[in-house]
Chain A
Amino acid sequence: MESMTHNQLLNTNTPDPASNLRRPISWETIETLLHRVQKPGRYVGGEFNAVHKPWDAVTTRICLAFPDLYDLGMSNFALQILYDILNRREDILAERTYLPAPDMIAAMRQGNMPLYALESYHPVAAFDILAISTAYEQLFTNTLELLDLAGLPIRAADRDARHPLIVGGGHGAFNPEPMCDFFDIFIIGEAEEVILELVERFSQTRTLSREAQLQALLGIEGLYIPRFYRADYTVANAFAGITPLLPEVPVPVRRRIVGTLPPTPIHQIVPNIETTHDRGIIEIQRGCTHGCRFCQAGIITRPVRERPAEEIIQDVFAIAAATGYSEIGFLSLSSADHTEIETLLQTLQQQCSGLHLGFSLPSLRIDAFSVALAEGLTGSRKSGFTFAPEAATEALRRCINKEIHTEDLLTIAEEVFKRGWRTLKLYFMIGLPGETDEDILAIADLAHELRRIGVRFGGRKTEIHVSISTFVPKPQTAFQWEALADADTIARRQALLFQNLRGRGFKVSWNKYPGTSIEALLTRGDRRLNAIIERAWQLGARFDAWDEWWNLDAWEQALTELAPESFGSVEALREYFMYRERSENEVFPWDHLLSGVERRFLLQDAQRSRAGEFLSDCRGICHACGILHHYANHRGAEWRCPLPKSSKPATNQQTTGNENQL
């Protein structure tokens, strides 16, 4: 039933395929759909601090898209940063769009209304550039839905210079191959460093064909333009490598980074309806030095760059005044690591007394220092204290490089309960490399032990919430060679855990395995998955992260139809992408995209994992991951990489000497 695309519905068989998608949609027309849908406030714009510019007064118009609901997309800080950077320019206009919920999508399709941007209500197809977040794999089918709802051909090969340039970016772009047929360009790395270069160069290519436009963009570092590369496969259908098709095509494409964190957007858009993270945001630190081996973010956001406390304090007051938010969230991968965090919070508590302004700190470590920090945050006891030990045994924590010891964890839990928290949330992964049933039973034992401590200090109302996710091996990490645990193993271990975590005071939640397995398939996929994603979408797959909307049958059918061609069977395809342990010499579909952390380093770290060796936090000693080698010239004052031992200033010379410190 879904075989007719929105393109055909919009009847674009005219000489200019997009001519009826150029004019803004009137408010009266949008309003005709709103009485029929849930939460109509998602589709109307009109927020305080949204930027409205005259359409004809600029040379380049960019639509920033998050391919999921407004409620989630408004909480994506990357898009806020880009919105701010782009709209500061007089010659550029940036607007926003999100994927409507299924009820609104149905109403729009029925009413022949294309997807529009929330500021000017121009159809998305009328913009020069459409930048879509590829933050994670569950957004992939939504991306196709978004393109189609915009009236755009979903495949890059079917678009030309009359259509917007489709640009992807975000953490998912560190293996964009499963989506490479749909995008023109992926930004590898920190888009705030590249976006203006991209826009400026692109605006000089208006009269060219799309192919020529993309060739003109080849010189910009950090842009990956998939059509200029060919993927090869062996006779046994294994991925064999990527070959550039033109002499000027870069291999590898190296991630762009900012040396110093750019200024915080102050005039943050204040949503009119409640969103997932309804607060002001300040990124206090980017990157992480802990080196957890499962964590992709910890690799692809290196090095650690801090925002100075003084600047954060100024931002707090500026954002509070510009938005009216009563809560500011500090964004980072490990808040307690910020070198000035303690004085920062103390200063803010003094200066903000009586202002009814609260702060939230995500991702605290498991240590006494973090407990003390959390205690100072107003209202933090309501939601419970969070620990993320990820694994319950010493052996498994050595494997994943999470350096926490059970006795310390118990002591810190005691502190947490003594100071009045009644709920402890625990995050664990199952299906980790080398995991045994004993490791699972240890999770239950630990939860019981923690509850006993809680009851001793806080009484029988103490609750332990255990959240279990299935480990998914991610590209660009030390675990990229590992296999995904199969469905039977995960089902058995989940059951084992539930049997041992029954009764009062425990709450257990988990990710459903079928959803996890789709993520696992896509995250280490290659170009052959484009057709499968497209087919799954045609069959109705979308909102893959939403329990109430996602469609496993569509995925199963797409795999059944298309797997045999390249792999012989669905089982063989799953074995190839998910359940197979890769050899040291494996050629990965993302080898041509360089995060700055060397494959050599990741492989050594994988070997340390098998040997049960911790690798220390790299603030103290450099483990030569490759960042200092690749980005020596970017080094700023707020980096937390150790300075090289040589007397030469790091910023002037190549710091390859630093690589040999180990």
Chain B
Amino acid sequence: MNEQNPTTLRMRLMFATSGPLAYVSVLDLGRLWERALRRAAIPLRYSLGFNPRPKMQFAAPLPTGCGSEAEWLDIWLTEPCEPAAIATALAGTLPPDLHVIEITWVPEDAPALSELMRAVTYRVLLRDVVAAELETACAALLKEENVLRVKRGRRRHQHYDLRQLIETLSVTPALEPWTVALEMRLKAQAGATGRPDEVLSALGLADIPRRCTRTGLFLSSPAEAPDL
């Protein structure tokens, strides 16, 4: 855990999202947090200039369609606050499917979480998929040296190698109504971030109903990483 530093104006919130909130974009999530913090009257630090925004940083953008068991958000304040006081103020101002797990002090000069990101784990629950067949498909995918896929959101068709972004991939049992859970650990660094829906597409599961949850974020420096 971070050292207790009651004078810092930077706080780290660990939170979880589920249900309907899994279906908002990362921009929506930022707006949603800003409004929740404003409702709680947390003294947010705003940027200067024409269109002031509160200073906030997520560790890694959460893909639309994914809930999360452990997201990190750094916020900057204008006056020091006790984590417990923030937690109390936030009670009752959060949307139904947003939960705060932990709030800690962070030194102002600590590196941005996004710079420390290394990998992300996801659990994807699937229906109507037979475990043995999925295991075979995963093994085949992991055996490939390259899995080229088209980058999204570019005008020209550029390709990237999805295989290099997959660190682990495994199949575990799941409860009704799901038949299997696909567990994966994907690289998450600047310019090299794996997306779970891309893995599903590569496995031929693009059209299969799923529930996707981010289960963990992994940082490069253990000193900076809150326990998972």
Contact = CB atoms under 8 A, between A and B. Distances in A.
A46 B209 CA distance: 20
B34 interface: yes
A321 B20 CA distance: 24
B123 to A, nearest CB: 15
A539 interface: no
Interface in A17-52: 27-28, 31-36, 40-41, 43-48
Interface stretch (A236-244, A270-278, A388-396): A270-278
A326 interface: yes
Interface string A190-223: 0000000000000000000000000000000000
Contact of B64 (A40, A322, A382): A40
A30 B15 CA distance: 24
A376 interface: no
A597 to B, nearest CB: 41
Interface residues of B, number: 36
B147 to A, nearest CB: 20
A479 to B, nearest CB: 41
Nearest to A320: B38
A324 B94 CA distance: 11
B24 interface: yes
B151 interface: no
A382 B21 contact: no
A353 to B, nearest CB: 12
Contacts of B38: 320, 324-326
Interface in A263-283: 270, 272-274, 278
A594 B97 CA distance: 47
B50 A382 contact: yes
B80 interface: no
Given A326-B34, A356-B52, A31 B24 contact: no
Interface string B23-35: 1110110011011
A379 interface: yes
A48 B35 contact: yes
Contacts of B21: 46, 272
Given A31-B209, A44-B23, A46-B21, A324 B28 contact: no
A274 B64 CA distance: 13
B107 interface: no
B46 A41 contact: no
B6 interface: no
Contacts of A32: 127, 209
A31 B211 contact: yes
Interface centre among A33, A48, A274, A320 (most CB of B within 10 A): A48
Nearest to B197: A35
A398 to B, nearest CB: 41
B28 to A, nearest CB: 5
A318 B182 CA distance: 46
Interface string B138-172: 00000000000000000000000000000000000
A126 to B, nearest CB: 20
Nearest to A50: B96
Contact of B93 (A44, A47, A324): A324
Contacts of A44: 19-20, 23
Contact of B19 (A27, A35, A320, A322): A27
Interface string B214-227: 00000000000000
A87 to B, nearest CB: 16
A324 B23 CA distance: 21
Given A34-B23, A35-B209, A324-B38, A46 B46 contact: no
A41 B39 contact: no
A323 B31 CA distance: 12
Contacts of A28: 177
Contact of A45 (B20, B35, B41): B20
Interface in A34-88: 34-36, 40-41, 43-48
Interface centre among B23, B39, B177 (most CB of A within 10 A): B23
A270 B33 CA distance: 12
B37 interface: yes
Interface in B83-111: 93-97
Chain A to chain B: the 8 pairs with minimum beta-carbon distance, closest first: A46-B20, A324-B35, A44-B20, A32-B209, A324-B38, A324-B39, A40-B23, A48-B95
Given A28-B177, A321-B41, 8 more contacts: A31-B211, A41-B24, A46-B19, A46-B95, A324-B39, A326-B35, A379-B50, A382-B50
15 contacts: A32-B209, A33-B209, A34-B65, A35-B209, A41-B23, A44-B23, A46-B20, A272-B21, A272-B32, A274-B27, A274-B31, A320-B38, A322-B39, A324-B93, A325-B38
